[in-house]
Amino acid sequence: MTASLDERLVGTPEPGREPAAGGGTEGVQTPFRRFASDFLEDRIATGALVVLLALVFIALTAPWISPTDPYDLAKVDVMDGKLAPGETSFDGSVTFWLGTDGAGRDLLSAMFYGLRTSIGVGIMSGLIALIVGTAVGLTSAYYGGRVDTLIMRFVDLQLSFPAILVALMLVTILGKGVDKIIIALVIVQWAYYARTVRASALVERRREYVEAATCLALPPRRILFRHLLPNCLPPLIVVGTVETARAIALEATLSFLGVGLPVTEPSLGLLIANGFEYMLSGKYWISFFPGIALLITIVSINLVGDRLRDVLNPRLER
């Protein structure tokens, strides 16, 4: 699915660009290979991609690779609470490589589970917002006129308020819960996607290939989805990565403030909040390590997004 998607978006003819003057890979130069080799030219971005894939792998397999189950009350012992990194448990059976939190949970395991929640919420909300925003943006650009004015007024209005304020308003109204946080993040984000898609669709709409498609009397649906949308994808993918990183950070912030995810679904933000009360007594690790995990996640997504922007932008000379 991803491969075909990438193939289509890089495979579109771009005027003034030579078809792949050898990117280091042997054999047939498929558009996807060219895209991949372009991406991998940058060592920092490649490293970030590897880290990101590792984090996603941890998030997907958290229940199986965690040393202990941090939410199995039978296995968690308060006697193990607030142990420093590297200490072993009260009965000597487990080593807590990153220490334990106030309730005696293994911090490393709790972080794996937290990463699962954080990345899951970020990707889910990013994906839904992408679909909603793309639909609205394409509609706006294709029909133009009053529809366009109305939609864009609304988008501008929403974007004139800071994201944290909109999010806070929404979680106050919706309440706690994973589904509600995702809804709130989607409402915060969709406007960015809508604006991006509209901007590039307005440019693409005036191109000859759309004119040709219109002359062939193709139905609007086909023109929208088979002609306009694939050509609007590059900026959309870049915005998608950046917005997903922002969604993860925003969710962590809300959870830290105690208005985000419920205690039963601890994300990295909530783990950090839990460690807050112990920090003044010098037990830094409970907040420190989940924060590092959050930081690595956000930075690696941003670095990958930066590189995607460079690779997908045909106007940029490389």
Partner 1 sequence: MSVFIIRRLMQSGIVVLVMSVLVFFGVNVIGDPVDMLINPEADQEDIEATIRALGLDRPIHEQYWYFLVNALKGDLGKSFIFGEPALKLILQRMPATLELAFAALIMSVVVGIPLGVYAGLKPDSWASKSIMAGSILGFSLPTFWVGLMMIMLFAVMLGWLPSTGRGDTVPLLGVPVSFFTWDGLSHLLMPALNLALLKMSLAIRLTRAGVREAIHQDYIKFARAKGLRTARIIRVHLMKNILIPVTTVMGLEFGNLIAFSLVTETVFAWPGMGKLIIDSINNLDRPVVVAYLMITVLLFVLINLVVDILYSVLDPRVRLQDIKA
Residues that bind partner 1 (CB under 8 A): 149, 157, 160-162, 164-165, 168-169, 172-175, 245, 249, 252-253, 256-259, 269, 272, 275-276, 279-280, 282, 284, 287-288, 291, 294-295, 298-299, 302
DSSP state of 226: I
Q: Is 316 left (phi over 0), alpha (psi -120 to 50) or beta?
A: beta
Quote the least distance from Cβ 298 to partner 1, whole Å: 5
Query: From CA 164, how far away is CA 167, in angstroms rounded?
Result: 5
Rg (CA), the chain: 23
Helix (H) or strand (E) holding 181: helix 178-205
Provide CB contacts within 8 A for 246, sequence distance 6+.
163, 189
Q: Which is nearer to partner 1, 1 or 173 (CB)?
A: 173
Q: Which is nearer to partner 1, 53 or 164 (CB)?
A: 164
Residue 161: CB atoms within 10 Å: 12
Give the CA-trace dihedral at 240, 4, 51, 301, to 10 degrees: -10
Q: Which is nearer to partner 1, 184 or 213 (CB)?
A: 184
Quote the least distance from Cβ 235 to partner 1, whole Å: 19
Quote the least distance from Cβ 7 to partner 1, whole Å: 31
Phi, psi dihedrals of residue 89, rounded to the nearest 5°: -70, 170
Quote the least distance from Cβ 66 to partner 1, whole Å: 22
Q: Which is nearer to partner 1, 87 or 148 (CB)?
A: 148
Quote the least distance from Cβ 303 to partner 1, whole Å: 8
Q: Which is nearer to partner 1, 224 or 245 (CB)?
A: 245
